[in-house]
Amino acid sequence: MIGNTKQLVTFQLGEDRYGIDIMRVKEIYASHMVRPIPHAPAYIEGVLNLRGEIIPIINLHRRFGIAKAVLNEDDAMLSGFVIIDLSGMKVGVIIDKILSVAEIDRSTIQPPPQMITNIGAEYIEGVSPQDSAGYLVILNIDRLFDVKELGRLRMLRSFRAISEEELNKSSATSK
């Protein structure tokens, strides 16, 4: 039955449920310090230094024009980033709340309607009806960025995040 199913990491973004192919997800990470990048496009939240590796962080709320979900205290503990493999590089996407790993029957996946949510159909691989939860929007992460945008993301990976300790050292030596 594995060939007839698709495993997805599901999460909440705004009021809707989304899924990304589990084979593209590298890890799920709780909220952490993101360093903003001056003059970056609005959808780029900044970069994260994750165990010595610089990871660009994308804000899908801004990318898709979706308001953040209103979360209670328990749900807020489930927010953070999904680190994905995007064209051979790690990129983090901000999510409101991680939900689960879901196994979806491929026969239930329908083509995306022209405008199912605020996001365009070009970003959607398909939708899968869910019992009481409405539907699950399956993102096509390969279509999230064009070639020029991917180039920007690659450049961000070379950004060197300066730690507070390094900032303090440089201030002390300049006095």
Judged by DSSP in three states, 106 sits in helix
Model pTM? 0.78
Tokens 């022209």 belong to 114
pLDDT values of the chain reduced to their tens digit, one per residue, 175 residues: 457 999 999 999 988 899 999 999 999 988 667 888 888 888 889 888 888 888 899 998 888 888 888 877 777 667 889 999 988 889 999 999 899 999 999 999 988 776 555 567 778 899 998 877 688 999 988 888 877 888 778 777 666 544 444 434 433 444 4
Q: Whole domain around residue 77: which residue ranges?
A: 2-173
Tokens 């180039």 -> residue = 151
Say if CB 8 and CB 22 are below 8 A apart. Answer: yes
DSSP letter at 69? P
The CATH number of whichever domain residue 6 belongs to comes to 2.40.50.180
Overall number of domains in the chain: 1
